[in-house]
Amino acid sequence: MTNDTLLNKIRQANPLVHSITNQVVANDVANSLLAIGASPMMAIAPEEMEEVTGFAEAIVLNIGTLTTEILEAMLIVGRAANQRGIPVILDPVGGGATQYRQEAVSILLKEVTVQLITGNAGEMAYLAGVDWSSKGVDAGTGMTSGKMIAERVAHRYQTVAAVSGKEDFVSDGQTTVGILNGDPMLTQVTGTGCMLSGICGAFLAVDKYDTLESTVKACTAYGVAAEMARDNQDVKGPGSFRVSLMDALYNLSEKNIHDKKNVKRYNANNSKEEDNE
């Protein structure tokens, strides 16, 4: 992997990432985009969504606090981005939880071509059509649940899929990569998944032609930043971890990523191959 330099590209180009995200995490998403080196835009009015694609370099759609108006805005910006070749990332927060969200995700995936779908195992399992609540989708097969879910979502929607968890999995349906960086404290702060999908937007903005690799880089960078945040001795809980995470995203260097990355590639017969050179 020679494109560890994507982080530096973001910091040189400051790509504008337009996020329609949920109102719980909008501030953290914007600040994490700034910290990684991108320019956040967070407009939501349907009336300006088409025009936004005139200068946005990636679009992130997050359905956390979806409403009818927000869905309308997402469809407009998504279609316009497709026409202009701007990458679209979908974060189907709470995806399968209600029929309303199920239908919204279905419409979005029908009307908009997305380069990347990213979510936690439960959200992505819904898209994969597997029953995550049973927590037994892969019992007896030896496969990691998250891995299978990522592969199925990628295959089903002909896209790249990223499933966050203790090990993150990114798959394009052919190749699957596992990222072991990160920290459990990420689960104790709201919106850390939303921040990751935003950061994926920043990485895809500077390399939209290899979505799998851009997404792996994004997940690795974010996971390493989380480890740096955790290693800060002033961190006493989720409040200070969140502050420290923002600092770590800002201070993150290619060297930090190179030194700490813990990435595994899975080939067709499912054996692991380390990729930490």
Catalog residues that contact a second copy under the rule CB under 8 A: 22-28, 30-31, 34-35, 40-45, 47-48, 51-52, 55, 64-69, 94, 97-101, 188-191, 232, 234, 236-240, 242-251
Residue 12 vs 23, nearer CB to a second copy: 23
Please name the amino acid found at residue 41: M
Shortest approach of a second copy to residue 90 CB, angstroms? 17
Other Cβ atoms within 10 Å of 92 Cβ, number: 29
- Cα separation, 161 vs 117, whole angstroms: 5
Shortest approach of a second copy to residue 133 CB, angstroms? 10
Helix axes 211-231, 6-13, angle to 10 degrees: 90
- Cα separation, 28 vs 46, whole angstroms: 23
Residue 15 vs 40, nearer CB to a second copy: 40
Please enumerate, by residue number, every residue annotated as part of a binding site for ATP: 118, 164
Residue 120 vs 144, nearer CB to a second copy: 120
Shortest approach of a second copy to residue 270 CB, angstroms? 33
Shortest approach of a second copy to residue 123 CB, angstroms? 13
CA dihedral 71, 77, 80, 85 (to 10 degrees): -120
Please enumerate, by residue number, every residue annotated as part of a binding site for substrate: 42, 191
Residues of 46-61 as b/e, b for ≥16 C-beta within 10 angstroms? Answer: beebeebbeebbbbbb
Residue 68 vs 271, nearer CB to a second copy: 68
